[in-house]
Chain A
Amino acid sequence: MTGEYRLADGGRIDRDRPVRFRFDGHDYEGCAGDTLASALLANGVHQVGTSIRYGRPRGIAAAGPEEPNALVQIEEPFPEPMLTATTVELRDGLVASGLPGQGRLATEPDPARYDAINAHCDVLVVGAGPAGLAAARSAARSGARVIVADADTEFGGSLLGTRDELDQAPAWRWIDRVTSELQASPDVTVLPRTTVFGCYDDNYLVAVEHRGEDAFTRQRAWHIRAREIVLATGSHERPLVFPGNDRPGTMLASSARTYLHRYGVLPGRRAVVFTTNDSAYAAAVDLHDAGVEIAAVVDVRPVATTVWTARCVERGIRILTNCAVTGTSGADRVSGAQVSSLPSGDAAPAELDCDLLLVSGGWNPAVHLHSQARGTVRYSEELGALVPDRTPRGVRTVGAAAGTFTTAECLRAGSEAGSDAAREAGFHADVAEVPGSPSGPVTPPQPIWLLPGLSADSDDEQFVDLARDATVADVRKAVGAGMSSVEHIKRFTTIGTAHDQGKTSGLLSSGVIAELLGVEVAEVGATTFRPPYAPVAFAALAGRDRGDLYDPIRVTAMHDWHLEQDCPFENVGQWKRPWYYPQPGEDMESAVLRECHAVRTGVGMQDVSTLGKIDVQGPDAAEFLDLVYTNKMSTLRVGRIRYGVMCHADGMVFDDGTVMRTGEHRYLVSTTSGGAAGVLEWLEDWLQTEWPHLRVHLTSVTEQWATIALAGPRSREVLARVTSDIDLTNDAFPFMSWTDGTVAGSGARVCRISFSGELAFEINVPWWHGRQVWEALHRAGSEFGITPYGTETMHVLRAEKGFPIVGQDTDGTVTPHDLGMGWAVSKKKDDFLGMRSFSREDTARSDRKHLVGLLPPAGSAVVPEGTQLVDSTELPAPPVPMLGHITSSYRSAALDRPFALALVKSGRDRIGQTIYGHVGDELVPVEITEPVFYDKEGNRRDG
């Protein structure tokens, strides 16, 4: 027998499969099918933890996700903070402990896998209680694609916790039948252990499926797009507010019934049942029949319902109407309840011994998802609950979630909603038959928020939110401080902000506020229902986009070659680019100096495939490019290449690259590596929405080509070894032109472009040939000491030439003029993007920041990039006026000294002046120069 409170038979647990676990250092045994809570109760353990503010003992108050109290920390199989014992499935080897309100994170990485999947359906049914099952069956029979999800381990909802009959047989028979029918339908997805936790726009719902600790995927997030949704999420029983209502052994009445019927556990031996409505009577009767002594049913109503009175009388259960529990006794477990008559009543006050105090203050429909779906709720006086009011299109809220509390009604409403939903989704659907269910007359509850006549002294023993340890005294204090909005009082008292998000305390606090303010509950309203419906692990949402899959790694055709060199890579957008190629024993600086030297004196090669490439075609291509580049592209001759700058309409540089004219009506535009997608979209935007009359087509061809830059005085010789059909002489193949030919056996488009200032070629070959051509060039260059170089060397070489890098030497506040690129801004065009902005007051200022060169004293250290520049040899008190900052800074192999590029106020007018870089707490002198440091005359580009 697993625990002295376990019944010999009954329930959905498997007594033949004992499960060993450890709680708070003690070893226990439960059964397969238990939750941690049911197993603890079976072993007579009620206290689970202590409360967060007052350290009071706290027990198990519920049997589901609404549990406000029974917080546990899982230790084994893997540390997980703050779960409710009522939702932890028992498993062999589970080790857990009670929590005082703060959880503890694991220090080692979580080894489990999490993933996500997209799903589509015609009808999504959330909740598989009687309403949800009936809905799913109606919908499924129409042929519609149905998903039915329930948070619980098995379907059946509240029925699992009762001994109700359907069609004169135990309800679980019907549940099993319907579940099997659903499972057998090919277009139905059955998802137990799946909590739908959020409802977003256009019927997009997100759920998390708990697939098991040992499953390949521990948890799976479901992203469900549903045409129609049926919300059959049931309801949560509401506790009552009275002094000492937090003692372990105090439990929601229906939860006690669930422990009895579903888990075969007696939650106590002698119970007092305190209620405002009929539902708790079922608990009293069932527990009595299972052997629990019922000390009394204490009902705040003046008269109890006839049928229930009869059933109690039959069993000798005493009913105290017009009475309330006004206090409890006991240390770490309730041992007695004080019952008083309500002011208008006449039953005598009494002290009743008990080890279980069942409470029922009515039912809160689970309108969370309904509300997230933008349904509205209203306060129903009759039910003392928030019920759905307006329901948005595509959503149906039914069953207890809609305030329907008899099984018969839930079944009927569910079945209708299921067929309605299927019909709305375009299927022919009948309302599936529902099983017969006995249902007696129901007397309305009498909602009660604060017991009348209690002295204010007891306020701080009357808990409104057990999870947050918030009492009536706290609410009274908030109201007394002048607060009247439920939102303020929530934040003042922290009611409803714990793990359970106020499932049991939310409306309760509204009721208490209403009483204290003397207004209607409807006027107080409730706080906002926000996702998630139940807590969900970060990792479950992080899914598989982790590690290398966090973001795509983009690689070029030559990537493996780079890998084989063991070079470090730089992330450039999503691309991996070789940063530098260190030789054994080299650090970055020496590698880069060597690479630079090779390009300046011999030959180097770089993989530049990552540059974006866009094919621009059409009779108006030239006109279009004239509009989007600052310079003129229409005058470019076929076969020639021009460097171009693009500005946003605000006049600030946002991308640059070369433009090749490949035909009368055709260009190939290149972009920065990180900017390709943005540029294409930008061009499409203008083309489609502003200039649709222009006959131009844009096609991205970035990966069509693998591109190799071959740079250095010996580059022509290297290329000559691998091509025979291209005349490489300057006359035949001048700077800034291109030609087609064969390189290393591959068709190639070869350009004479130079970003280094040296004689250079850019060889474009179809992607598939990239590596083979790269290797051929590398082989052909070996006798010239060909040196592969990475982005760092490329940066140094171009900086020596004063070529800016968009995004490094610019930051979105820099115009082409600021860069000293007035030459690239056409004065002959009527308009181009950005042009108008150049004449704005601030943009036209002459004292803007200019891109200039800086020279620290020869022999000094490289001044760090980012260094701010000032005008004085001594720092005044802050704020110190700043002149600008260093955007690029390197040691130059060619110049044998450090140098830098910087944006400096009026920089071009200050050439020759010395200013100071603020490095650490030092001021380092730097001389302002032209930005071109190397080969100002451009003699080297022709070799």
Chain B
Amino acid sequence: MMLIPCPWCGPRNETEFHYGGQADVSYPADPQAVSDVDWARFLFFRANTKGIFTERWNHQAGCRRWFTVRRDTTTNEIFHDDSHEAVTR
């Protein structure tokens, strides 16, 4: 049971959160202008990093905010060294 640091509510049990996968994948500015290949990338392709991964979590059972976390996907160690307030997809 990981302790996920909600930037607002503080660390809470993993079960209060919804996982959102890779952070920083932004919606194309003009989806109609991107190729099928790039659109597929946006829809289905996410980094699957082994090691330190920047990912999104939503504090579903708490303040409902989305935020990002850096976590080592081999150890579940979470790095508390950055500001989490930036919400990115």
The residues of A with any CB-CB pair to B shorter than 8 Å are 200-202, 204, 223, 225, 374, 649-650, 681, 684-685, 688-690, 692, 830-831, 835-837, 839-841
Q: Judging by beta carbons under 8 Å apart, are A681 and B36 in contact?
A: no
Would A689 and B43 count as touching, CB distance under 8 A?
A: no
- With a CB–CB cut-off of 8 A, which chain A residues contact B64? 681, 684
A223 to B56, CA, bound (A): 26
CB contacts (< 8 Å) of A840 on chain B: these are 36, 39-40
Residues of A within 8 A of B28 (CB): 836
Residues of B near any A CB (own CB < 8 A): 1-3, 14, 18, 20, 26-28, 30-32, 34, 36, 39-40, 42-43, 56, 58, 60, 64-66, 75-76, 87-89
**In whole angstroms, what is the CA distance A839 to B88 when docked?**
27
- Give 8 CB contacts A-B under 8 Å: A204-B3, A688-B66, A689-B87, A690-B26, A835-B31, A836-B28, A836-B34, A840-B40
Given A685-B66, A688-B65, A690-B89, A836 contacting B26 (CB threshold 8 A): no
Given contacts A649-B42, A684-B58, A831-B31, contact A841 B1 (CB under 8 A): no
Most chain A beta carbons < 10 A, residue from B18, B26, B43, B56: B43
A201 near B1 with CB under 8 A, answer yes
Q: Is the CB of B66 within 8 A of A836?
A: no
Contact partner, B75, options A374, A685, A835, Cβ 8 Å: A374
- Alpha-carbon distance between A650 and B28 when the two chains are bound, in angstroms: 14
A650-B43, A836-B39 known; A830-B32 Cβ under 8 A: yes
On chain B, the residues within 8 Å of A835 by CB distance are 31-32
Which residue of chain A has the shortest Cβ distance to B38 in the bound complex? A836
Cβ–Cβ contact B89 & A689, under 8 A: yes
In whole angstroms, how far apart are the Cα atoms of A204 and B34 in the complex?
46
Closest to B88 in A: A689
Closest 5 pairs between A and B when the two form their complex, measured CB to CB? A836-B31, A202-B3, A204-B1, A689-B89, A201-B2
Could you say which of A202, A688, A836, A837 contacts B87, with CB atoms under 8 Å apart? A688
Complex partner residue of B32 from A201, A202, A225, A836, CB under 8 angstroms:
A836
| A685-B28 Cα distance, complex, nearest whole Å | 16
How far is B41's CA from A836's CA once the two chains are assembled, in angstroms?
A: 13
* B66 A684 Cβ-Cβ under 8 A: yes
Contact of A690 among B2, B27, B36 (CB under 8 A): B27
Closest residue of chain A to B39, judged by CB? Answer: A836
Query: Which partner residue on chain A sits nearest B32 by CB separation?
Result: A836
| Chain B residues whose C-beta falls within 8 Å of the C-beta of A681 in the assembled complex | 18, 58, 60, 64
Which residues from A are CB-within-8-Å of B43? 649-650, 837
Interchain CA distance A929-B28 in the complex, whole Å:
40
Of B36, B39, B58, B76, the residue contacting A685 (CB under 8 A) is: B58
- Residue from B31, B42, B64, B65 having most chain A Cβ neighbours under 10 A: B31
| Residues of chain B within 8 A of A836, CB atoms compared | 28, 31-32, 34, 39
B56 cross-chain contacts in A, Cβ below 8 A: 689
User: Measured between alpha carbons, how far is A730 from B80 in the docked complex, in Å?
Assistant: 61
Tell me, in angstroms, the Cα distance from A223 to B64 when the chains sit together: 25
Cβ distance A669 to chain B, nearest Cβ, rounded Å:
16
Residues of A within 8 A of B58 (CB): 681, 684-685
Most chain A CB within 10 A, of B1, B3, B14, is at B1
Report the separation of the CA atoms of residues A591 and B76 in the bound assembly, to the nearest whole angstrom: 55
Using A374-B75, A836-B32 as known contacts, say yes or no to A689 and B3 having CB atoms under 8 A apart: no
- Which residue of chain A lies nearest to B34 when distances are taken between CB atoms in the complex? A836
Inside 8 A of B66's CB, which chain A residues have their CB?
684-685, 688-689
- 17 more A-B contacts (CB under 8 A) besides A201-B2, A681-B60? A223-B1, A649-B27, A649-B42, A649-B43, A681-B58, A684-B58, A685-B20, A689-B88, A689-B89, A690-B26, A690-B27, A831-B30, A835-B31, A836-B28, A836-B31, A840-B39, A841-B36
Q: Are A202 and B39 in contact (CB-based, < 8 A)? A: no
How far apart sit A415 and B28, CA to CA, in the bound complex (Å)? 59
Interface centre among A202, A684, A830, A840 (most CB of B within 10 A): A202
Contact pick for B76, options A201, A225, A688, A830, CB 8 Å: A201
Q: B36 touching A202 by the CB < 8 A rule?
A: no
Q: Which of A223, A681, A836 has the most CB of B within 10 A?
A: A836
A840–B89 alpha-carbon span in the complex (Å)? 23
- CA–CA, A830 to B36, complex, Å? 17
Nearest CB of A to B72, in Å = 11
Q: In the complex the two chains form, is A202's CB within 8 Å of B88's CB?
A: no
A685 to B87, CA, bound (A): 10
The residues of B that contact A223 with a CB separation of less than 8 Å are 1
Cα A733 to Cα B15 with chains together (Å): 47
The answer for the CA separation of A688 and B58 in the assembled complex, in Å, is 10
Q: Which residue of chain A is the closest to B68 with respect to CB atoms?
A: A689
Across the two chains, which residue of chain A brings its CB closest to B76? A201
Shortest distance from the beta carbon of A167 to any chain B beta carbon, whole Å = 41
Smallest distance from the beta carbon of A784 to chain B beta carbons, Å? 44
CB atoms of A200 and B1 under 8 A apart: yes
Distance A835 CA – B18 CA, assembled complex (angstroms): 26
Instruction: Name the residue of chain B whose CB is nearest to the CB of A834.
Output: B31
Distance in Å: Cβ of A690 to nearest Cβ of chain B:
5
| CB <8 Å contact, B31 and A225 | no
A36 to B69, CA, bound (A): 51
Inter-chain CA distance A839–B14, complex, in Å, is 38
